[in-house]
Amino acid sequence: MNSELSFKTAVCTEYERLLFVCQKTLEIWRNRREEVAHSDLHGKEAAAELLRLQADYAKAYSRLEKHEDNCELCRFVSKIGGRNYASISESALDKKRSA
């Protein structure tokens, strides 16, 4: 009789969702900032839009960090991995930035 080994990975789907949202808001803010810098879009409207996009990113990043602090699974996975769980999102975002 064949017995299959199955491995359950310790992945927090909420963390993945929040990380995706954080990366997406950063990408949107960065792209728009670049568009404004390379065009003649200036003034209060452009500045207000960039501030709103920056705030969207800051909120997403804050939610991600709060989740890391409060999620038992995220803390556990980080602990057994020997990582500082507070820096997980930073390293993931650094990888995204360098890509």
User: What's the pLDDT tens digit per position in 43-94?
Assistant: 898 999 999 999 999 999 999 999 988 999 888 877 777 755 455 556 665 6
pLDDT value of residue 78? 75
pTM, 2 dp? 0.68
In which domain, by residue range, is 63 found?
13-98
* Cα 25 versus chain centre, distance: 8
- 8 domain-assigned: no
Chain-centre distance of CA 34, in angstroms? Answer: 20
Nearest residue to 54 via CA among 23, 28, 75: 28
Domains of the chain: total: 1
* 58 domain residue, yes or no: yes
CA of 42: how far to CAs of 21, 25, 55, 68, 95, in Å? 27, 21, 19, 38, 31
